[in-house]
Amino acid sequence: MAMPQQRHRAAQCLCNVDPQNLTSVSEFLLLGLSQDPELQPLLFGIFLSMYLVSVLGNLLIILAVNSDPHLHTSMYFFLSILSLDDMGFTSATIPKMLMDIHTHHRIISYVNCLIQLSLFSFFGCMDNLLLMVMAYDRFVAICHPLHYPVIMSPHLCDLLVLVSFFFSLLHSQLHCLMVSQFTFCTEVEIPHSFCDPSQLTNLSCSDATTKNMLVYIIGAIFAGIPVSVILFSYTRIVSSVLRIPSSGGKYKAFSTCGSHLSVVCLFYGTGIGANLSSAVSPSLRSGAVASVMYSVVTPMLNPFIYSLRNRDIKRALQRLLSQPA
């Protein structure tokens, strides 16, 4: 069997390692969701189907928004950027997972692991910031409807996306720099299908105080601020909607936020579940399953949430799909 040889290869790199010399760790072993040979074809089919559905669904959203002049507004502009980001989010992990299942070669080099970690952190943070920007967009639309076209100008929308891009890039580089300073002195087996930042943090044998401090600081800045803005926006939105006298007006106002609120709950719910699973049982597969929900299932479901709950997107998709070839 190839797996014991791979496990031996991955462990061998630590035999003569100076604990302070991280570059001696040349590769990691990704244990995946299961090592049962009978389950590999099933896992390959499931992940391939999910990846194709995710890419196709998000691509259709992008094409629908760009092809329909009625959707050339800030709300749908941010939605198309979110769909593009979700395509990158899934592409950062699933192709490698599929290749590992197909070739039965679960080794990933140290450099490739850092690259994958950087891409995963970048697209994950970009998702986070875009959801914050979309919440602000809904806040302005509902709480300041008369000034909405002026406030959410195309220039501001472009600027918000650009700022989100640079902060996401900073976030990914901080994660990469943090992990590059870790020392992996006893364990190079990752109980996961990809280089998850939380798993790498748990596996390192660096000083626990330093690790936790870095994780908390990065989390507080790049997750705490967007969550605070989203909560503030929806607090003001709910307060404004409740002051609308007619029930029809309240329903119309809430309906414009329904899709975004569903995506927010799904994104942060699965993200919190992944982090809690990793913190409570870092060596168990429950964390890997939770991270798959966060990094694969959520981007796949986003197009369905927006297309099923939004009549404008439905009409745009119908016109797009009914066009002659």
Per-residue pLDDT reduced to its tens digit, 243-286: 888 777 777 777 778 888 889 998 888 877 777 666 565 545 66
Choosing among 1.10.630.10, 3.20.20.70, 3.90.1150.10, 1.20.1070.10, the CATH entry for 39-322 is: 1.20.1070.10
pLDDT tens for 206-225 read 666 676 677 778 877 888 89
- Domain ranges within the chain, ordered by starting residue: 39-322
pLDDT tens for 131-151 read 999 999 999 999 998 999 999
* Cα dihedral: 59, 61, 65, 66 (round 10): 10
Longest dimension (CA), the chain: 74
At 22, the pLDDT band (50, 70, 90 cuts) reads very low
Best CA proximity match to 226, nearest among 123, 160, 133, 298? 133
Task: Identify any residues that bridge with 27 across adjacent strands, giving them in sequence order.
Answer: 109
Task: Identify any residues that bridge with 189 across adjacent strands, giving them in sequence order.
Answer: 29
pTM above 0.75, yes or no: yes
Distance from the Cα of residue 191 to its chain's centroid:
19
Q: Answer with the residue of higher pLDDT: 97 or 293.
A: 97
All residues at 6 or more sequence positions from 101 whose CB lies less than 8 Å from its CB, including other chains: 32, 40, 43, 44, 47
Mean predicted confidence (pLDDT) in 279-303: 74
Host H or E run for residue 64: helix 40-67
Give residue 104's region: left, alpha or beta (phi > 0; psi -120 to 50): left
